[in-house]
Structure 1
């Protein structure tokens, strides 16, 4: 091939012209054939004009599921669950990203579901992905418009069927299982799960814990964290009592980030249920243990240590009463003493499988 006077146009030994050029990021590749230089240049101009037309139309083109998912992620940046949403979107796009929204339904989702089952994902986890797909499709149906301002989709997307879920009983871990599992975790994640199993906080509350929620209580020589109602499942503020191990973790985290108590590489962590957690579970033979089972473990250890039902409810955030505004009272000190009893391994060793807290 020999270059010609026009960049992007070459000529072969047989006199045939070829076009190989990138215009506005789009590759143009055309066999022009036996023609003149002027005709080859005109063909190149025509192809470049078509690229310009296609790019101008692209904002109004029918979007793919990947396009809709990208827009949804952009709109969801401030959601606390954004990291978990990213994981579900990445899994979905691998299978259905190329489809238009109206092509996404139970039949086209079947390969995705089969692949996730073969990877060991449970029905509940797969359903969370399907729920994300539902949300993306419904938002797309309401928001996408053509160049005339009309909806791109004639109707709402078809209803996506959820998999039947068998509710799995809680699986509080034993001390021996904890000793096997936690050392397998990366240091930052090990501190997070150690904090969770000693406070009973849910995954989202541990990941979303903020320094601005810390309230010093001089009477007990340490702080509590007051999780605001908007961030707690019961929609009531919750006072987190920091037993000795949890307090030690907090002291270790000081200075790591100005906002988040448990950052990773300077960023907010979306979930503890990540690849490192799942790999560690497999290595120690505890594939069925979920992050939420750390909360069950704390609850069961409280019961095994003889902590009253009323105090267990307050420590876990089940109580209808709130201590917010009274965290300097003797009640906080008493709850701290009661909760610290879970650290006595001998007293909390034998009933973990039969108590649900």
Structure 2
């Protein structure tokens, strides 16, 4: 039977002129409408086969091909999670059916449950797939323009060294070691959580983050200062593979109840684990590290990424400003002027 019911909706099932088996939802509970859908679909496939028309492609076809093309991305699994959520809105649509109304509906739904920046990440995935379908695969002739939400400027939240010492004293040992290492190296949480001993040279006082584990897919060499070396000395011998563990396993999550309780006891508010990296960068700039040096140390992909810390360099720039101290542009305060 070419039309059958599956759940609440009717589905069509037939063989195309090319011998391919076609099985798709008609997205209707009305049998007559399902029959009309099947007739239109058969006509479209005939035009593709006999007249050379461009075949209509579905969103799911595009997702499968896009995931195959982007499986090298560091955040590939995050993309999959986003696409699973988007499947509830786009799974049954052809690419040419995804218009501004559909996009706006998705945007409003995601914005109602998440921040503007989170909603933008979902919209960016849709945009990337549609643009690739248009420009590289020639599956569609045009793609709708996707408007992103305006996002607040990126926050720079950092704490003083006294606050950091208080926080470390309140944390359980396994989190305190990770936090102290982060404050000395600026490494992201995942890079600290899964840092292996074979990525560390205690003799050379260096660590390495492999390209596949780096956010910008570039390998990073991490100089280890005295503070970082001290932490590693305490961790030596605890686990043969990983530098930082809890119950002999890497810590997948650091923003735990223990972290929150330690912040409360330390009297520190609005502070996330990632802000340890902001703190490390802020301390460096205040100590005179140039933004170019900071970019290389932190593994940022562009100079623009470190400009957020530029305003903290005021004390460092005072010496530069004082180079003009011997410039005399005005009369001494007690000098007499000619009448």
Q: Please give the range of the TM-score, normalised by the shorter of the 2 chains.
A: 0.5 to 0.7
Q: Report the 3-state secondary structure (helix = DSSP H, G, I; strand = E; otherwise coil) of the residue aligned with 1:238.
A: strand
In the alignment, the residues of structure 1 paired with residue 282 and residue 263 of structure 2 have an alpha-carbon distance, to the nearest angstrom, of: 22
1:210-234 per-residue CA deviation (whole Å, 9 max, x = no partner) reads: 665433416xxxx521346794759
In the alignment, which residue of structure 1 is the partner of 2:221?
238
Correspondence 1:22-41 to 2 at 5 A:
none
TM-score by length of 1: 0.51
Is 1:119 the counterpart of 2:113 in the alignment?
A: yes
In the alignment, the residues of structure 2 paired with residue 288 and residue 85 of structure 1 have an alpha-carbon distance, to the nearest angstrom, of: 28
Correspondence 1:68-83 to 2 at 5 A:
68-83=62-77
With over 3 angstroms needed to count, the CA separation of the structure-2 counterparts of 1:191 and 1:132, relative to structure 1, is farther
In the alignment, the residues of structure 2 paired with residue 111 and residue 283 of structure 1 have an alpha-carbon distance, to the nearest angstrom, of: 41
In the alignment, which residue of structure 2 is the partner of 1:294?
276
Q: 2:155 aligns with which of 160, 164, 169?
A: 169
Q: 1:138 aligns with which of 131, 142, 145?
A: 131
In the alignment, the residues of structure 2 paired with residue 125 and residue 278 of structure 1 have an alpha-carbon distance, to the nearest angstrom, of: 24
Q: CA RMSD in A?
A: 5.4
1:195-221 per-residue CA deviation (whole Å, 9 max, x = no partner) reads: 534420235755785665433416xxx
1:94-133 per-residue CA deviation (whole Å, 9 max, x = no partner) reads: 3333332233344322233223333232x22222222221
In the alignment, the residues of structure 2 paired with residue 203 and residue 196 of structure 1 have an alpha-carbon distance, to the nearest angstrom, of: 8
The alpha-carbon deviation at position 78 of structure 1 amounts to 2.5
- 1:281–1:287: 8 Å Cα contact kept in structure 2? no
The alpha-carbon deviation at position 64 of structure 1 amounts to 3.0
Q: 1:67 aligns with which of 48, 61, 72?
A: 61
In the alignment, which residue of structure 2 is the partner of 1:156?
142
The alpha-carbon deviation at position 295 of structure 1 amounts to 0.8
In the alignment, which residue of structure 2 is the partner of 1:317?
297
In the alignment, which residue of structure 1 is the partner of 2:308?
none
With over 3 angstroms needed to count, the CA separation of the structure-2 counterparts of 1:92 and 1:28, relative to structure 1, is closer
In the alignment, the residues of structure 1 paired with residue 90 and residue 270 of structure 2 have an alpha-carbon distance, to the nearest angstrom, of: 28
In the alignment, which residue of structure 2 is the partner of 1:12?
none
In the alignment, the residues of structure 2 paired with residue 311 and residue 77 of structure 1 have an alpha-carbon distance, to the nearest angstrom, of: 33
Correspondence 1:77-116 to 2 at 5 A:
77-116=71-110
Q: Report the 3-state secondary structure (helix = DSSP H, G, I; strand = E; otherwise coil) of the residue aligned with 2:185.
A: coil
User: Whose RCO is larger (CA < 8 A, sep 6+)?
Assistant: 1
In the alignment, which residue of structure 2 is the partner of 1:333?
none
Query: Gaps (5+ residues) in structure 2?
Result: 7-11, 25-44, 46-54, 301-310, 315-339
Q: Report the 3-state secondary structure (helix = DSSP H, G, I; strand = E; otherwise coil) of the residue aligned with 2:158.
A: coil
Q: 2:186 aligns with which of 200, 211, 224?
A: 200
With over 3 angstroms needed to count, the CA separation of the structure-2 counterparts of 1:205 and 1:295, relative to structure 1, is same
Query: Gaps (5+ residues) in structure 1?
Result: 1-18, 30-49, 145-150, 321-353
